[in-house]
Amino acid sequence: MSGWHSGAEQPIDIPVLSFYTFFFYFLTTLPRPNMPRKSKTTEIETKSVEAAPEAPRGSKTAAIKRALKANPDKFPKELAELMNADGWDVTAQRISVVKSAMKAEKKAKKTAAAPTPEIAPEGPEDAVSIGLLVKAKKLVKELGGIKEAKAALNALAQLLD
């Protein structure tokens, strides 16, 4: 044998591990220094008496929609300048958001309003659909039976030829 180990296996004692355990315990039990905190109270902004009363919710959006309908060829930046001159506090980004929402609403209405065309199922040309069978059943019922319906269809075929 090479002499790397003795006959009996002994557990390895790592003094470094116990040092780190003690150091971690020591750090977690130390009191933390008290740092001065910022006060949570800030100056409250007060409105002057001359300030206009707050507009109802959605009035800015409605004003943007009116401006977009009145000036459909203008860019959002130009509309923002016009509206700011009129006293509205809007940005070109806000106008772009409202404009895209209007386009989405128009597109949703257009797709909802367009009825989907009824597509007949594909199959052999001589096949009879369920709808035609229902109509034939009503015709037979109105004419009083299958013999009467056949007679009526034969007479119709002679008239059309």
Q: What is the pLDDT of residues 5-15, one digit of tens each?
A: 555 566 655 55
Residue 89 maps to a domain = yes
User: Is residue 93 in some structural domain?
Assistant: yes
Q: Residue 70 belongs to what domain range?
A: 59-113
In terms of domains, do 108 and 67 share one?
Answer: yes
What's the number of domains the chain is made of? 2
d(CA 127, CA 122) in angstroms, rounded, equals: 10
Residue 54 lies inside a defined structural domain of this protein:
no
* 100 occurs within a structural domain: yes
Assigned domain for 70 exists: yes
- Dihedral over alpha carbons 74, 78, 81, 87 (to 10 degrees): 10
User: Looking at the structure, do residues 71 and 101 belong to the same domain, yes or no?
Assistant: yes
Q: Looking at residues 131-143, what average pLDDT do you find?
A: 88
What pTM value is reported for the model?
Answer: 0.38
- pLDDT tens profile 86-104: 888 999 999 999 999 999 9
Name the burial class of residue 82, with classes exposed (0-12), middle (13-18) and buried (19+) by CB atoms within 10 angstroms of its CB.
middle
125-129, 146-150, 151-155, 157-161: which has the minimum mean pLDDT?
Answer: 125-129
Q: Is 136 found in the same domain as 104?
A: no
The verdict on residue 15 lying in a domain is no
With a CB cutoff of 8 Å and minimum separation 6, the contacts of 13 are none
Decide if 146 is inside a domain.
yes
1 within some domain:
no
Enter the tokens of residue 27. 């750090």
Element housing 80 (H / E): helix 76-85
Q: Is the dihedral of CA 108, 109, 113, 114 positive or negative?
A: negative
pLDDT at 49: 32
Question: Contact at 8 Å (CB) between 67 and 83?
Answer: yes
